[in-house]
């Protein structure tokens, strides 16, 4: 198997990993992002300590569509802050670019961010709905990280809020649960949730993790 037990407390992973850190950048995540910035080197070192094959990390931020009542003016659905790198310093620099602001209502756009992330042919995202993708908070075409063929894909999804579901949100332009699950499954991508309170706190994240063979952990833990 790709996982080998070294001792009861340490699992050594010997397959190549492409890990995307996907961070909710809405206002409520301010304290969490500040903590992450200081912990980024330890996150890298922690992964490095349990892998024997090459791993690479990328950093992505998301908020919501910049349209009332879902998001705030200037919100972005997705932005790539750092492509995959095997450099600890480059990963830390990408994490340092994360910010916290906006967000509008409580649910956010993780489904839209994941859908874009895993779809190289995804069109640009017109965040404010003005008919073009020329604004600074829009997402241009082709801003996905460069996944390696043969690497196991992992999304570390850090958030404190659930996702907008178009079926329950009239006029919402983003994808729904079934579409994002299909994308995750087709791309063999595992979701690991990082949520204040851990499993049970945000049901949408629990479902993504369960559907992809992942797990949910509390950001209040180490």
The CA distances from residue 72 to 24, 80, 107, 121, 194, in Å, are 14, 19, 12, 27, 24
The model's confidence at residue 1, banded by pLDDT at 50, 70 and 90, is: very low
CA angle at residue 14 from 207 to 159, to 5 degrees?
A: 30
Residues 6+ apart with CB under 8 A from 118: 144, 183, 184, 186, 187, 189
Q: What DSSP element (H or E) covers 56?
A: strand 55-62
**Mean pLDDT, range 178-199, rounded to an integer:** 96
**Mean pLDDT, range 145-153, rounded to an integer:** 97
> Is pTM, for the whole model, over 0.85?
yes
pLDDT digits (tens, 9 = 90+) for 12-71: 999 999 999 999 999 999 888 888 888 899 999 999 999 999 999 999 999 999 999 999
Average pLDDT, the chain: 92
Alpha-carbon dihedral angle through residues 172, 175, 178, 183, given to the nearest 10 degrees: -170
């Amino acid at each position: 198997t790709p996982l080998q037990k070294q001792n009861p407390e340490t699992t050594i992973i010997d397959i190549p990993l492409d890990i995307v850190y996907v961070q909710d950048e809405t206002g409520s995540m301010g304290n969490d992002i500040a903590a992450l910035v200081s912990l980024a080197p330890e996150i890298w070192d922690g992964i490095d300590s349990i892998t024997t094959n090459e791993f690479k990390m990328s950093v992505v931020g998301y908020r919501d569509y910049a349209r009332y009542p879902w998001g705030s003016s200037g919100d972005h659905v997705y932005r790539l802050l750092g492509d995959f790198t095997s450099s600890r310093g480059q990963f830390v620099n990408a994490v340092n670019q994360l910010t916290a602001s906006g967000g509008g209502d409580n649910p956010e756009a993780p489904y839209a961010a994941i859908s874009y992330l895993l779809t190289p042919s995804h069109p640009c995202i017109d965040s404010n709905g003005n008919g073009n993708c020329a604004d600074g908070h829009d997402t241009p075409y082709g801003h996905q990280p460069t996944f390696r063929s043969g690497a196991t894909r992992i999304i570390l999804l850090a958030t404190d809020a659930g996702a907008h579901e178009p079926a329950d949100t009239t006029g919402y332009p983003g994808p729904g649960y079934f579409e994002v699950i299909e994308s995750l499954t087709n791309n063999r991508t595992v979701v690991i949730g990082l949520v204040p309170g851990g499993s049970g706190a945000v049901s949408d994240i629990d479902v993504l993790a369960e559907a992809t063979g992942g797990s949910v952990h509390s950001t209040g833990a180490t």
